[in-house]
Structure 1
Amino acid sequence: MPSWLIALLAAAFVLYTDDYVIAGILPEISSDLQVSEGQAGQLVTVFSLTVAVVAPVAAVVLARLPRHRLITGALLVFIAANGLAAVAPSFGVLMAVRVLAAVAAAAATPAIFAFAARQAPAGKAGRYLAVVSFGVTGSIAAGVPIGAWIGGTFGWRATFAVMGLSGVLVVLAILVAVPRGQEHDRTLGLREQLSILLQRPISLCLIANCSLMTGSMMMLTYLAPYLATVSGAEVEERALAFGLAGAAGFIGIWLGGTAADRWGADRALLFGISAIAVAMIVLWLIWFGRPVPLPIVLVATTVWGGMAFWNAPAIQVRLTSFAGPLAGQALGLNTSGTYLGVSCGAAIGGLALAELGVGALPLISAAFACGAVLLLACARHDSMKGNHAP
C-alpha cells in the first residue's frame, strides 16, 4: 500500500470527522453560545447542504487545476476555517466559518477519490477507493468519539483547534507523499462537461446512489426506536447494534472494493444492494414477530451495515468508468447525491414514522434499494449501447 494512499485516507478521515463531530459537542456549543441544541444542530445541516451544493460545482469549475494543488489548497482553507471556529465569538460567526470549512471539504473530497482511482494499478481501483473510504467509516467509529471527548474535557473550541492541527498534519503528509504530476481532468468547456455528465448512464448511476443512500439513512436514522420496539433494546444494547454495524462497515468496504475489481462493478453492486434488500425484508418480517431476541435482530442489522458500505467503492468504480476523463466531476456529483440522500432519508423516514409507524421503515428502505438496482441495470444497458463518455 503506497504512502500517498495512506495520506489520502487520512485526508478523508479528517474531512468527514469535521462534518460529523458537531453531533458530539452540541451541548457544549449550545451552552457556551447561548443557543438551543436544535439551533446548534443546524451547524450539521448547513455543512451537509453546503457540501451537496458546492461539490459538483467545484468539481466542474476547478477541473483544470492539478489534483495535488487542489487538495492541498482546499486543506489550507479547511485549516483556516477550523482555526477561526476555535475562536468564534458568536454563533453567527461559527455558522459562517462552518460554511467555509464545508466549501473546502466539497472541493477536496471528490478530488481525493478521483486521484486514488486514477493512480491505482490496473485492476485495483476498487481496493484503492476502499482504502480511502476507510476514512469515512473511521470518522464515525473513531473521529467523532475522540472529538466529543476532547470537547467534553477541554471545551468545544479545543475540538476545532485539534481539527485544524490535524489538517496541518494531513497537508504535510500530502506534500511529502502524494505525487505532484499534472493530473487533472480533461480541459473541456463548461457546456462540453455538462453534456457528458448529463448522459443517461452517469445520471442513472448518480440517482441510484442517491436512492440507495436515502433508504439506508432512513433506517439508520430511526434504528434506535425500531430496536427498542422489536426487542426492548436499552441504550447499551442499541450502542452495541450501531457498533457492530460500524465494524461490519470496515469489512464491507474492503470486500466491496475487492469484489468490484474481481467481479466487475455491476456484479458487485447487484450482490451488495440485493443483500441490503434482503436484510431489510428480514427486519420487516421481524417486526411482525415482536418481541424478538436481540441477537436475531443484530444479525440482520450487522449484515445490512456491512453491505451498506460494500457498495461505496463499487459505485465509484462504475462512475469513473462511465465518466472517463471527467471522473472528478462525476464523483463530485456523487458526493452531492450522497449528502442529498442522507437528508432525504431522514426527512422521508420521519414522515413514514409519523404516518405508518417504525415497522414500515424496513420495507420502504428495501423499495429504495430495489429502485437502485433497476436504475443501475438501465445505466448498464445504456452504456452497452455506447451512450457514455469515452
Structure 2
Amino acid sequence: MPAWLFALFAAAFVLYTDDYVIAGVLPEIARDLKVSEARAGQLVTVFSLTVALAAPIAGVALARVSRRRLFTVSFVLFTASNLLAAAVTGFGPLVALRIVAALAAAASTPAVFAYAAERAPKGHIGRYVAVVALGVTGSIAAGVPIGTWIGGHFGWRATFVSMAAAGAAALVFLLVTLPRERDDRAAGTPSIPEQLRVLAGPPVALGLLANCALMTGSMMMLTYTAPYLAAMSEASVDQRALAFSLSGFAGVLCIWAGGKAADRWGPDRALFTGMGVFTGMMAILGMLWFVRPVPFSVLVVVGTIWGGMAFWNSPAIQTRLYLLAGPAAAQALALNTSGTYLGVSLGGVLGGLTLSGPGAGLLPVVAAALGLGALALLALAVVASKKSPSGERAMAAEHG
C-alpha cells in the first residue's frame, strides 16, 4: 500500500484522538480552571456537535478546494488551536479554541476518507477506507491512553501541546507523501444544487439514516456498558477493563475484515451482515437479562462480537456512499461524519434516559430496535439505488 495511505491513517488517528482525549484529563481541567467536571465535560459535547453541524456544510463549501490545500489549512488551524489551548487561563477561551479545532476536523475528516477512496485501485476501495478507519480505533486504543498519561504526569496543558505536535507531524507526513498532481476538482465538482440533489436522493439519504440509527444503538450500549455489566454479573473494575479492551481489539480486526468484505461481497451485503449480527447480539443480551446473574465469560464473548461488528460497518457504509454519490462522494462522506457524531450524541442521551427510567436491562432491547430500524432503512436504500441511474453506475463500478 502507498505511503500516503498511512499518512491518511495518521491524520485520522490525530483528529479522533483530539476529540476523545479530553475525557481523560477532565478532572485536571476542571480543577485548574475552577469549573465543575460536568461543565468541563461540555468540551466534548461542543467539539462533537460542532463537527456534526459543520462537516456537511464544509463538504459542500470546500468541494472545489484541492486536498493538499485543504489539509494544510485545516492542520495549521488544528495545531494553532491546540497550542493556544495549552496557554489559556479561562474556560470560555478554551471552549472557543475547541470549536476552532472541531471546525478543522470537520473540514478534513471526510476529505481524508474520500481521498483514500478516490485513489484506491478498482476492487480495493473498502480496504483502503478500512486502513484510514483503523486510525479511529487506534485513537481509542492508543491515542487517548497516551494523551491521558501525559496529562496525568505533566498536566493537561501538556496534553494539548502533544496534540499540537501530533497535528504538525501529521501535516508533514501528508505533504511529503501525497502525490503532487494536477487537481481538476474545480472542473469536476458538480454545482451545489446538483450536489444537494444527489445527497437528498433516497439511495444516499436512507443509507445515511441507517448508519445514524446503527451508531445510536451501538454507542448507547458502549457508553453504558459498565452499568449493564454491573447489573448482569457484578463485574469487577478489572473485568470491565478487559471487556473494553477485547471490544477494541475486535474492532481493529473487524474494520479490516469489513473493508475486505465490502470489496469481495459488495458494500450492501457487508452492511446487512454487520447490522444483522449486531442486532442479533443485542437480542441475545436482552434475553440474558432474564437469567441473571450471567457468567462474565458469556457476556464478554457476546460483547466482543457486537463491539467488533459495530466497527465492521464503517468501511462498508463509506464504500457504499462513495460508489453511489459519484462526484458528490466527498460531500456524502461529510454527511456520514455528521451522522456518526450525531449518533454518538443521541446514543448518550437515549441511553441515559433508558438507564434512569426502565433500567439497564432495556439497553440492549432499545439497541436491537435501532438495529432493526437500520436494517429496514438499508433495505429501502438498496431498493431505491437499484432504481436509480447512480445505483446502476455504482453496481458497474463495484463489479468492474
Pair 1:255-2:261 in alignment: no
Displacement after TM superposition at 1:350 (Å) = 1.2
In 2, distance between residues paired with 1:196 and 1:219?
33
Paired residue for 1:77? 77
Displacement after TM superposition at 1:387 (Å) = 5.5
In 2, distance between residues paired with 1:73 and 1:147?
24
In 2, distance between residues paired with 1:387 and 1:369?
28
Paired residue for 2:317? 315
Paired residue for 2:368? 366
Paired residue for 1:199? 201
Paired residue secondary structure (1:100): helix
Residues paired across the two proteins, number? 390
In 2, distance between residues paired with 1:31 and 1:79?
25
Pair 1:175-2:175 in alignment: yes
In 2, distance between residues paired with 1:347 and 1:387?
39
Q: Deviations over 1:107-158 (max 9, x none)?
A: 0000000000011010000000000001000111111110000001000000
RMSD: 1.1
Equivalent residues in 2 for 1:230-379 (5 A)? Answer: 230-379=232-381
Paired residue for 1:147? 147
Paired residue secondary structure (1:356): coil
Deviates more, 1:363-372 or 1:305-314: 363-372
Preserved contact between residue 201 and residue 387 of structure 1 (Cα < 8 Å):
no
Paired residue for 1:92? 92
Displacement after TM superposition at 1:75 (Å) = 0.8
Paired residue for 1:54? 54
Deviates more, 1:199-208 or 1:354-363: 354-363
In 1, distance between residues paired with 2:266 and 2:209?
20
Paired residue secondary structure (1:121): coil
Equivalent residues in 2 for 1:114-153 (5 A)? Answer: 114-153=114-153
Deviates more, 1:140-149 or 1:350-359: 350-359
Deviates more, 1:348-357 or 1:297-306: 348-357
| Paired residue type of 1:383 | S
In 2, distance between residues paired with 1:205 and 1:327?
13
| Paired residue type of 1:6 | F
The percent identity for this pair of structures is 59
Paired residue for 2:108? 108
Deviates more, 1:172-181 or 1:287-296: 172-181
Structure 1 residues 12 and 262 mapped into 2: Cα distance closer, same or farther (>3 Å)?
same
In 2, distance between residues paired with 1:160 and 1:100?
14
In 1, distance between residues paired with 2:152 and 2:355?
32
Unaligned runs of 5+ in 2: 394-400
In 2, distance between residues paired with 1:152 and 1:62?
38
Structure 1 residues 4 and 36 mapped into 2: Cα distance closer, same or farther (>3 Å)?
same
Preserved contact between residue 199 and residue 388 of structure 1 (Cα < 8 Å):
no
Preserved contact between residue 202 and residue 388 of structure 1 (Cα < 8 Å):
no
Stretches (4+) displaced over 6 A: none
Displacement after TM superposition at 1:184 (Å) = 3.2
| Paired residue type of 1:35 | V
TM-score, length-scaled by structure 1:
0.98
Paired residue for 2:396? none
Displacement after TM superposition at 1:183 (Å) = 5.9
Displacement after TM superposition at 1:188 (Å) = 2.7
Unaligned runs of 5+ in 1: none
| Paired residue type of 1:79 | T
| Paired residue type of 1:236 | D
Paired residue secondary structure (2:35): coil
Paired residue for 1:160? 160
Paired residue secondary structure (2:41): helix
Preserved contact between residue 190 and residue 327 of structure 2 (Cα < 8 Å):
no
